[in-house]
Amino acid sequence: MTDPRTSADLLFGTNLVAMVTPMRPDGAISEPGLASLVDHLLATGCDGLVVGGTTGESPTLTDAEAARLVGAVAAQAKGRARVIAGVGTYDTAASVHRAREAEAAGADALLLVCPYYSKPTQAGVVAHCVAVADATELPVMLYDIPARSGIAMEASTLVELADHPRIRAVKDAKGDLFEAMSVMARTSLAYYCGIDELNLPYLACGATGVVSVVGNVVADRTAELIRAVRAGDLDSARSIQGSLIPLTEAIMRTSQGAIMAKAALTELGVIPHATVRLPLLESPPPHLRRLTDALATVAVPA
């Protein structure tokens, strides 16, 4: 069997960042902020740009905004990184529509979250994912995040979906390392860690790469982490992961990843505003102080 990591490197990249969606104070998408963010991520070693995912506040984006984001990021990236469009919703028809719109806008791949709120059966999850995968010619990364979707993609479901020629990878935010290893052993699905706190263990267990929220700020460090694990240098990998603990805690374990990543990028001058859309609220002062302290512990690229 061909190593799934090899083909996934080409389809999706390895050091993926779950991009925030920069916004103006009035809540409209900030085109200058978006261009600046893409340039920052490319300069710091990101080779996969995930647009309109959870961290991009996907539930608040209109169809037109989602497609416009993909087009703007693809135009700014100019082929220097893969553009992966988040297209998942709780409505299969809407997800199919977003997938087709993303393909037309220039996406290289799709990110498809397990349908949330509706809580379908596992057979329904399979039917939903197949319908979206059949809708375009783009490779698909499944997104398994039961804490948000309300249900998990069971191992048997992932194994079944792996038979589809365009379903090629999983962003795993479930945190079950044994199940991940089991599915990797039984299929050609490439795994990407979707939990920043567990990037190192996932990579050590055979994951291809990461889809990182913290990478909005320090994609250079996640790139170093991936390289160290692939080279078998676990001492260096542990040192890198350890150095990122304060920042990871500040971004992922205070209010919410999208909120804190925007606050960090604003603090660094990458985007002009930390605006988020309701029901999210901007970071309160105690969280901002913790974030500022954490940013001081890492060498953040200018």
Q: What is the pLDDT of residues 260-299, one digit of tens each?
A: 999 999 999 999 999 999 999 999 999 999 999 999 998 7
Are 113 and 79 contacting, i.e. CB atoms less than 8 angstroms apart? no
59, 98 contact by CB (below 8 A)? no
pLDDT at residue 299, as a whole number:
74
pTM: 0.95
Above 60 in pLDDT, residue 302? no
Which percentage of the chain shows pLDDT scores above 70? 97
Query: Domain 4-240, what fold?
Result: TIM Barrel (3.20.20)
- Residue range 119-135: mean pLDDT, rounded: 98
Is residue 171 part of the annotated active site? The answer reads yes
pLDDT at 6 over 90: no
Structure tokens at 130: 């197949």
**In the chain, domain spans:** 4-240
Which is the catalytic residue, given 90, 171, 191, 202? Answer: 171
CA angle 293, 297, 301 (to 5 degrees): 105
**Nearest-10 crossing angle of helices 245-252, 257-267:** 120
Angle at 192 between CA 160 and CA 143, to 5 degrees: 55
**37 Cβ contact list (under 8 Å, min separation 6):** 19, 20, 22, 216, 265, 270, 271
Asked if 200 and 238 touch (Cβ cutoff 8 Å), the reply is yes
Active-site residue, from 90, 119, 143, 192: 143
**What is the per-residue pLDDT across 174-228, written as a single tens digit (0 to 9) for each?**
999 999 999 999 999 999 999 999 999 999 999 999 999 999 999 999 999 999 9
- In the annotation, is 143 catalytic? yes
